[in-house]
């Protein structure tokens, strides 16, 4: 990926237009050097729906600005240094954070918290090869299917490794690393076996972009919330689910940060503060009625306008007095997806006629 190249994909050229490298550096002056502008563009290039084109009159540039502001606010919460007294002089003592822009800033003036994003590549408290049983569904029976279809790697001691947060979005859990790996390489195992690549390579941004565009029915992709594709129905409205930054928080970490009423949790307050600043910097006008928090949101549920039938499950019905032997479309997440070539056959094989291998052994055998 070469910035400014005329042959760059249209969504990349749009990002280059609304976010120059100088602006990127100004917004993230203490970022790890692994989070480069080129890596951001490379990650965006892989997923055309991020800052993509619209043929129905929607303002693609305005949507892109808002999407970037929203994404960047989440980066601040997920990866920020959160060091209130951090100065450029202090940041420059860390070789992995000594960006050229720091030399242009007053050396002893603390850097605002909203500009401290992209400091961490990995979740604090973990290191590659750790195996404390966190962020994993690895052992047989730990989940109906995730341990089979997103098999965990093991460390040198033969322990299942942890899929803790890595990259700008802090992608976590084997059931996210597997689908992301499949989306990029057509192989779930590549990143399940090498999760560190999501921290140390251009995948640190690509993982965040993938998460923003990937449906997780009944939750919509973040892009649908921002570009207006998701239009809440009566079920959504009854659950206080409305388009805005707050709904994207629910998509990312709703189970921990949202719901329950009362004041917004500290994490959400940080996201809101960063979003307001990022929006200002990227010339985004926040509507006065946009829900920024999620304390009063009750979540995306079955029947939501975002609950599209994009996955495949066993058809439990009966046909002519006999059990069906096919798979059917469903609006909840399964390992089998309409968007993945060959998944219908995998679904039928798994439930009816095939064999499923796990760590070299047959764990499901429908051929007998």
Residues noted as catalytic = 78
Question: Which residue in 14, 181, 176, 30 sits closest to 97, CA to CA?
Answer: 30
CA dist., res. 211 & res. 220, Å (int): 11
CA angle, 8 as apex, 3 and 12 as ends, to 5°?
75
Handedness of CA 245, 119, 209, 261 (dihedral sign): negative
Q: Scan for tokens 């490794």, then name that residue.
A: 161
């Amino acid at each position: 990926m070469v910035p400014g190249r005329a042959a760059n994909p249209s969504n990349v050229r749009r990002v280059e237009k609304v976010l120059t490298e100088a602006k990127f550096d100004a917004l993230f002056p203490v970022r790890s050097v692994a989070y480069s502008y080129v890596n951001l563009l490379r990650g965006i290039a892989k997923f055309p729906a991020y800052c993509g084109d619209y043929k129905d009159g929607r303002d693609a540039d305005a949507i892109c600005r808002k999407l970037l502001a929203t994404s960047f606010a989440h980066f601040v919460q997920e990866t920020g240094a959160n060091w209130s007294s951090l100065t450029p002089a202090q940041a420059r003592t860390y070789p992995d954070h000594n960006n050229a822009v720091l030399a242009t800033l007053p050396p002893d003036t603390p850097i605002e918290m909203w500009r401290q994003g992209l400091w961490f590549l990995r979740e604090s408290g973990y290191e590659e090869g750790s195996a404390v049983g966190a962020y994993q569904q690895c052992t047989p029976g730990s989940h109906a299917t995730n341990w089979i279809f997103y098999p965990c790697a093991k460390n040198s001691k033969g322990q299942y490794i942890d899929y803790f947060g890595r990259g700008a979005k802090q992608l976590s859990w084997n059931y996210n690393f597997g689908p992301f790996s499949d989306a990029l390489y057509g192989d779930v195992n590549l990143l399940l076996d090498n999760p560190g690549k999501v921290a140390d390579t251009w995948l640190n941004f690509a993982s965040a972009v993938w998460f923003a565009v990937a449906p997780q029915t009944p939750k919509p992709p973040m892009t649908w919330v921002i570009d207006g594709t998701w239009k809440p129905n009566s079920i959504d409205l009854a659950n206080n689910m409305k388009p805005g930054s707050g709904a994207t928080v629910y998509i990312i970490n709703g189970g921990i940060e949202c719901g329950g009423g009362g004041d917004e949790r500290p994490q959400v307050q940080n996201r809101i503060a960063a979003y307001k600043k990022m929006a200002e910097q990227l010339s985004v006008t926040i509507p006065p009625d946009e829900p920024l928090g999620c304390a009063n949101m009750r979540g995306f549920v079955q029947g939501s306008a975002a609950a599209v039938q994009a996955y495949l499950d066993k058809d439990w019905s009966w046909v002519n007095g006999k059990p069906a032997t096919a798979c059917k479309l469903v609006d909840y997440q399964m390992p089998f997806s309409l968007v993945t070539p060959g998944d219908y056959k995998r679904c039928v094989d798994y439930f009816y006629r095939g064999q499923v291998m796990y760590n070299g052994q047959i764990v499901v055998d429908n051929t007998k």
